Amino acid sequence: MSETESPYGPTWYAATMVAVPERRALTHDLDVDVCVIGAGLAGLTVAREVARRGWSVAVLEARQVAASASGRNSGFVSPGFSERIDAIVERVGLPRAKELWALSDGGVEYMRRQITESEMPGVLARDGRLSVRRIDDEQALIDHAAMLRVDFGAEVEAWPTDQVREMLRSPHYFQGLHSPKAFHIHPLNYALGLAAAAEKDGARIFENTSALSLDPAGIRKRVATPHGTVRARHVVLAGSTGAGEVDAPIAATVQPVSTYVAVTAPLGERLFEAVRYTGAISDTRRAGDYYRIVSDDRLMWGGRISMRGSTPWRLKAALRSDILKVYPQLEGVEIDYTWSGVMAYAVHKMPQIGELAQGYWLASAFGGHGLNTTAMAGEMIARAILEGDDRWRLFSPYELVWAGGRSGRVAAQTLLWSMQMRDSLKERLARYRDRARREADARQIRFEAERAMRKAEAERLRTEEEARRIAEQEARRLAAEEAGRAAAERARQAAEEARLAAEEATRALEQAEREREHMVRAAAEKAPQDAAEAAAAPTRQVEGHKAETAAPESAVEPVVAPEAAAAPEVVATPDVSPAPEAASPPSEGAALEKKRRRKRGSKKAEAVAPSAAGPAPDSTPCAALASNSKYFCPGGMYSNGVRRIDGEAINR
C-alpha cells in the first residue's frame, strides 16, 4: 500500500478506522473567539472544551484530523512524562513535581472520561501497562516503585523477573513496573471521536487548510490561510513539528524524532505462547521497544527511534528481526502493516505549554508520552482561556530552548546511537550474568536434587530397616502372645483336669466315706449279734466238749474259737487230721485228758466276756493263727505261735 492510497497512510489504524465525514477547507474570512492551529489531540481537546462552554472555535488543519503523530502512535495512555520522574524532582523539587504528576494523571482520567461520556466507537480501550527492564536491577525497580507510591500516590506494582517472564516469554526481560490503571487505545479512532464531539458542541474544523502566517499582536490576532483569514481573541498553536511556517522560532525549539511501527499477520495461539499480557508493554531503554496485542491475535510492534525523516529501506525485515530477537518462538511471522511517525521532542523532554504573548498559547513537544499530556495540555489551556487557570505556569522551569537545528539533529542521533550502544552492552552483560546465575542455580538445584535423592535413599533404607525391625518385634510379640495363649490354654486344661480330678477325688472320698459310714452302721448293727453269738459260744463249746467226752470214740472235730465269731471276716480253716487214737479205744490217760479239757473249758467260759471285747494288743485270734501254726486253741488265744489260756502257754 502506498501513502497516496489513504490520507492516513498504510497503517493498521487507517485499515480499522471508523467512518469520518468530509470536512471542507476554509474559503472565507472568519471571526471566532478561539482559533486552534493543528487538529491533533492537543488542538482537538482545546476546541472541545472551549466549544462546550459556548465559545466559537475554528480549527485549522493542513491535512486531515490526526493525520500525523496523533493518529499513528502506539496508543499507550498512562501518567507521567517523557522525562524521568526522578529528573523532574531534581530540577523542580518534589512539591512541584507532585503537582506536575497530578496534572499528567488528570490527562489519563480526562481521556477515560471522554471515551465513556462520548461513547466513542472503535477506541478499543484495554487496561494495563507493563514497563520492563532489560537489565537485572531489582533493587532500583523496588526503589522507583516505592517513590511513585509514597511520593506521588501512584498505583503501581513491582513485578519480579519470574512474574514478568510468566507473562512475556523472553529471556531478555527482568523486572517490571505494572500500572493497572493505565490503558491502551486505538488513537486514530479516539481523535476522530474527539473531533466529532467538538463539532457536536459547535466547533468548526477545516481540513486541508494550512496556517501560512500569524500576527499575535493586538486584541484580535490574525491567522492567514490560502483562501481566508481568521481573526480571534485567542490563538492556540498546537502544530508541533508542523508549526514552522507559522512560527519558525517556536518550531526550532523542538526536534523531530521518527519512530516505526509494524503490525503482524494474525498469529493465533502462537502469539499467546509468546505474549500473555494483554496490556501495553514497553522496555525502559531510551530507544526501546513498545508493543501490544491488537485484534486479539496480531502483534503491534514499535521501536527503532531515529532522527531521519524518511522511512528506512526494508523496514518490514528490520522490525521482523527486532521481534524475533525478543521472541524467537514467533519464527516465520509475517508483517502486514508498517509505518513511521514523527514526534516532537524538546531538549528537556518535557511538554511546551504556556502563554507566549497575551492571547497566544503554545501546546507542543509531546513526543514519547503524548496521549495523556496532550489531553492535559488541551484541558489546561482551555481552562486558562475560559477561567484564567494559571496551572500552566508549573511548566515555566522548562523554557523554550533552541534544539540546534540540523546540527542538533546530528548530535541527537549520535547521542542516541551511543545510548543504544551503552544499553546493548548493559543488556549483554545482564544476560550473561543472568545466564551464569541460572546455570549456577541449575547446578545448585541438581546438587540439591542429588543430595535429596541420597537423603531419600538413606531414609528409605532406614525406613525399611526400621520396618523390618518393627516387623521382627511384632513377630516376636505375636509369637510370645501365641505362646502365652498356648500356655494359658494348657494351664486352663491342666486346671480343668485338676478340677475334674479333684471332683473325682472328692466323689471318691465321698463314696468311701459313704461306704465307711455304711460299714460302720453295718458293724454297729451286727455288733450285738456278734456279741450274743460270742456269749453263746462258750456254752456251745462246753456242750460240744461234753458231747466229745460222752463219745470218746468219735473223732475230735475242730472247735471254732470265740474270737472267730467276733471277727467274721477272718475265716480259720485248721488243718485237722483224724486222731490216730480214734482207731483204738480210749485209754485211761485219755480219760484224764478229757477231764482237764472240761476244766479248762469252764475257765474259758469265764473269760468269754473279756474275749468278746477283742484280743489283746499283742494277741492274735487263735483261729487265724491256727491255720498257720497248726495249733488248736478252743476258747484260747495264740500269741507268737504259742497258745495262751489264762496266761499259760500250752501246745496242742
Residue scoring higher pLDDT (125 or 615)? 125
Residue 535: its pLDDT value, please? 82
3-state secondary structure at position 201: coil
SS3 call for 132: strand
| Residues forming beta bridges with residue 645, ordered by sequence position | 648
For the stretch 258-288, pLDDT in tens is 899 999 999 999 999 999 999 999 998 877 8
Task: Give the pLDDT band of residue 643 (cuts 50, 70, 90).
Answer: very low
The pLDDT tens digits for 423-468 are 777 777 766 677 777 778 788 888 889 888 988 999 899 999 999 9
pLDDT of 131 strictly over 70: yes
Residue 604 has pLDDT above 80, yes or no: no
Nearest to 342 by CA among 40, 69, 73: 69
Q: Give the pLDDT of residue 139.
A: 92
Confidence of residue 521 (pLDDT cuts 50, 70, 90): confident
| CATH 3.50.50.60 for the 24-122+180-251+347-402 domain, yes or no | yes
Q: What percent of the chain shows pLDDT beyond 70?
A: 82
State residue 645's pLDDT score.
46
Q: Which position has the higher pLDDT, 335 or 406?
A: 335
- pLDDT tens string 348-399: 999 999 999 999 999 999 988 889 999 999 999 999 999 999 999 999 999 9
621 near 567, Cβ under 8 Å?
yes
**Which CATH code is given to the segment(s) 129-171+254-345?**
3.30.9.10
Higher pLDDT, 558 or 576: 558
What is the DSSP code (8-state) at residue 19?
A: P
Which of 114, 125, 123 lies closest to 201 in space, CA to CA? 114
pLDDT of residue 279: 95
Q: Quick one: pLDDT at residue 524? A: 85
The answer on pLDDT for 559 being more than 70 is no
387 within 8 A of 53, measured Cβ to Cβ: no
Average pLDDT over residues 537-554: 74
Three-class SS state of 169: coil
Nearest to 635 by CA among 541, 507, 526, 521: 541
pLDDT score recorded for residue 595 = 62
Question: pLDDT tier at 244 (50, 70, 90 boundaries)?
Answer: low
C-alpha cell at position 165? 517472564
The string of pLDDT tens digits covering residues 194-239 is 999 999 999 999 999 999 999 998 899 999 999 999 999 999 999 8
**Between 591 and 274, the higher pLDDT residue:** 274
Going by DSSP bridges, is the β-strand pair 30-37/228-237 parallel, antiparallel, or unpaired? parallel
Whether residue 170 is predicted with pLDDT greater than 70 in this model: the reply is yes
- Band (pLDDT 50/70/90 cuts) for residue 420 is low
| pLDDT surpassing 50 at residue 622 | no
Burial track 521-549 (b if 16+ CB lie within 10 A, e otherwise) = eeeeeeeeeeeebbeebbeebbeebeebe
pTM (2 d.p.): 0.68
Q: Confidence class of residue 568 from pLDDT cuts 50, 70 and 90?
A: very low
Residue carrying the nine cell digits 541420597: 454
Give domain limits for the chain. Answer: 24-122+180-251+347-402, 129-171+254-345, 533-650
Q: What was the pLDDT predicted at 580?
A: 39
> What is the pLDDT at residue 551?
58
H or E segment and range at residue 15: helix 12-15
**Among 193-207, 309-323, 598-612, 616-630, which is the least confidently predicted range?**
616-630
**Average pLDDT, rounded, for the chain:** 83
pLDDT at 538 over 90: no
| pLDDT band, very low/low/confident/very high, at 4 (cuts 50, 70, 90) | very low
